[in-house]
Structure 1
Amino acid sequence: MRAVQVTGYGGIEQLQTVTKDVPIPKANEVLVKIKACAINNTEIWMREGAYGAGSASGWRPEGVQFPRIPGSDIAGTIVDIGDAVDSSMNGKDVVLFPFTSSGDDGSEHIANDMSFIGSEYDGGYAEYVVWPAELCFNMPLPDYTESAVFSVSGLTAWHMNEQLDIQPGETIMVTGANGGVGSLNVQIAANVFSAKVIAIVGDLRLADEMKALGATHVLSYRSDRLVDDIIDSNGGPIDSVLDVVGDPLFSTSLEALKKGGKFCISGSAGGQTTNLDFRTLYLKHITMYGSVLGRRDEYRRMLQAISDGQIKPVIDRTFPLEEAQDAQVYFKESGKLGKVVLLPNED
């Protein structure tokens, strides 16, 4: 099979197209012919070494073992099964829950041995992948490319929203609202949890598209009076923030929050460290949440919401597998709306 491997920490030159044997599923695994694999910050940061210090980077303390096939947002068809897998799985169109762990239901996402497809396991920048049968779920939509954009970004966004316990009518600010996680945060908060959403983007030419996803107001982070813009648009301070940007909008978020407000972060694309005056937290009684991925029960609820039409795929562009380097470069450009997807098996 054709695959794209990361050969070590560094730039896009570390992404190399190779030919490998098709993997053979173990007793409890299935072989998936990959039809689409969406790109996430996760595999770029893994390649760049952003998850660890020095040479160690990954979801596990020992770091990534190279070479590694990245990619975790996967949709495809089961074409072979292990001896212990029910024969009814063969031929199913599936999406892959993106990690394994020994954690009990409800705590699998915080288990110490959480291992991620595309980091600790070979992933979706390939024509085939093996994965545990119990972590393969029916595709929520009939289209492979559309179904592939939810597993990581969608689960991340869904868990963020559930952690905030959003109530109907609350006002939620979403940063990075035109990105993969951000555009799903807008949809989930507005269309599933019935919140009013203030979407923060760079380019206000995206306003109509953001409102079509469910945003009530669309503001630009380039404004030199953004805090006032947020408070004015809402008629007062906001209830909660869903953040994937990090440092650039951190102080703005805390200023715009009401007393007793909530702040949830699951990414730091704009900066991984910040200055914090603790008085802001305790004088305003702000609750802060760190969030990564989510649980299997949340994944099931998300897939149902997608099937029900409450959450729609937002896709900016697709690339063939061989153009993975170009796709990752394009992914990091600003001004996109939605996901970038690799297509390993274009028939």
Structure 2
Amino acid sequence: MNKLPKKMSGVLLTGHGGLEKLEYRTDLPVPIPENDEVLIKVGASAVNNTDINTRVGWYSKCVKEQTDAGAVDSFQTINEDDASWSGIPVKFPRIQGADCCGEIVAVGEQVSPDRIGERVLVRTLQQTVMTPAEYSCITYGSECDGGFSQYTKVLATEAFPIQSFLSDAELASFPCSYSTAENMIDRANVKANDTVLITGASGGVGSAAVQLVKRRHAEVIAICSENKKEQLYKLGADKVIQRGLNLLNSLGKNSVDVVIDLVAGKQWPELPELLRRGGRYTVAGAIAGPIVELDIRTLYLKDLSFFGCTYQSRAVFENLIRYIERSELQPLVAKQYSLLEIKSAQQDFMAKNFVGKLILLPSQ
């Protein structure tokens, strides 16, 4: 630690609220790794829905609207006791950032010094000694400090070595979105020749899902805005439907095997109708609104399976590392920003005028 600086730049989230709760600082202490931790010099991070959802308190059951309704100025009423994804109050100030690519520059006493110099990706959903039970985990950048800083520390077991010619910015586009998508695909047991409908297909998780479904040799039907259709076809989508069109008219009832949903909202009741008997629905987001209407008869009479997907087994991230190292996935970096520009980056993220990921680069 002697050669490392004592202070660093980073962004503090000072409480639930609007963009004013993001505070860029240059006097934050560089973390000191505990016995089983490593210190990482951050090369790049990225903007994710979970960062914004946490900032505005969207996870609170008091909130019924879509994320964007409060993403700039926050929501008028939230319950801070359940305003995080885990239902446990966030400890402020917090350094967010669910994605991180970087280099290990120091290690704790129980970690081999041979790891210094490793290029790593940090696993977003982590199972720690504090969360040993199945389906219990923490999110990097929520229950612990994340990647929106020059340096960050994590458990050594959650820093995964990566061998790749991709840039830090390109690698930082993978952890949160692609592990979320791969987990959904794995839980729904997507197989070759399945027909898979992906909502919100131009976003970080959606565009990741297009690629990850195609690598399993299944058919992809993607939903996105009209101006993003060509980009989705280039990613491998077999059919692209314009967002907002009636899906039952476009596809017909009982036409898909799997739905990968990131949107929910008013159009949600069409999704169970689209599924064939024995179909699988998997969800890891509700950007168009969390409250939906379900005719329970459709669920049981069609023998549908529903999967809510947050917890990820370690194997999900291990597989993701292998896919990246074998160059099976295309990084989708839409734009890069300095960490000082985080408010502009989040505003652009909420405008949704891009495909893939918005990357944040720390000040050096």
Do they fold alike, i.e. is TM over 0.5? yes
CA distance in 1, matches of 2:328, 2:301: 37
Structure 2: gaps (5+ residues): 1-7, 62-78
The amino acid across from 2:114 in the alignment is S
- The residue aligned with 2:225 is 202
Looking at structure 1, the residues matched to 311 and 232 of structure 2 have their Cα atoms a distance apart, in angstroms, of: 23
Q: Give the alignment partner of residue 187 of structure 1, picking from 211, 226, 238.
A: 211
Q: In the alignment, which of 107, 112, 117 is matched to residue 86 of structure 1?
A: 112
2:171 pairs with 1:153: no
Pick closer, same or farther for the CA change 1:230–1:51 going to 2, 3 Å: same
Equivalent residue number for residue 170 of structure 1: 194
- Residue 17 of structure 1 is aligned with which of 15, 21, 24? 24
Task: Give 1:71's aligned residue.
Answer: 97
Matched residues in 2 for 1:62 and 1:160: separation?
24
RMSD of aligned alpha carbons:
1.9
Distance in structure 2 (CA, Å) of the matches to 1:6 and 1:104: 23
Letter in 1 for 2:157: E
Counterpart among 127, 130, 133 of residue 101 in structure 1:
127
Deviations 1:297-320 (A, max 9, x none): 111111111221222111111110
The 5 Å alignment of 1:262-301 reads 262-301=280-319
- Tell me, yes or no, if structure 1 residue 117 matches structure 2 residue 140: yes
- Kindly indicate whether the alpha-carbon contact (under 8 Å) linking 1:34 and 1:345 is maintained by their aligned counterparts in 2: no
After TM superposition, the score normalised by the length of structure 2 is 0.88
User: What is the aligned partner in structure 1 of residue 40 from structure 2?
Assistant: 32
Give the aligned residue type for 1:240.
V
Rounded Cα–Cα distance in structure 2 between residues aligned with 1:161 and 1:331: 24
- Report the alpha carbon displacement of residue 61 of structure 1 after superposing the two structures with TM: 3.9
2:340 & 2:151 partners in 1: Cα distance?
15
The residue type paired with residue 251 of structure 2 is I
Q: 1:249 to 1:187 in 2, by over 3 A?
A: farther
**CA–CA separation in structure 2 for the residues paired with 1:154 and 1:180:** 8
State yes or no: 1:211 paired with 2:237: no
> 1:139 deviation in Å?
2.5
Letter paired with 1:279: R
After superposition, residues 37-48 of structure 1 pair within 5 angstroms as 37-48=45-56
Indicate whether 1:261 and 2:279 are aligned.
yes
The residue that corresponds to 1:304 in the other structure is 322
Structure 1 unaligned runs (5+)?
A: none
* TM-score where L is the length of structure 1: 0.92
1:93-128 residue CA offsets vs partner (Å, 9 max, x unmatched): 1010124334799x86612xx222211111111100
User: Does residue 242 of structure 1 match 2:260?
Assistant: yes
Letter in 2 for 1:144: D
Structure 1 contact 231–238 (Cα < 8 Å) conserved? no
Is the contact made by 2:135 and 2:311 (CA closer than 8 Å) also made in structure 1? no
1:329 aligns with 2:347: yes
Aligned residue pairs: how many? 337
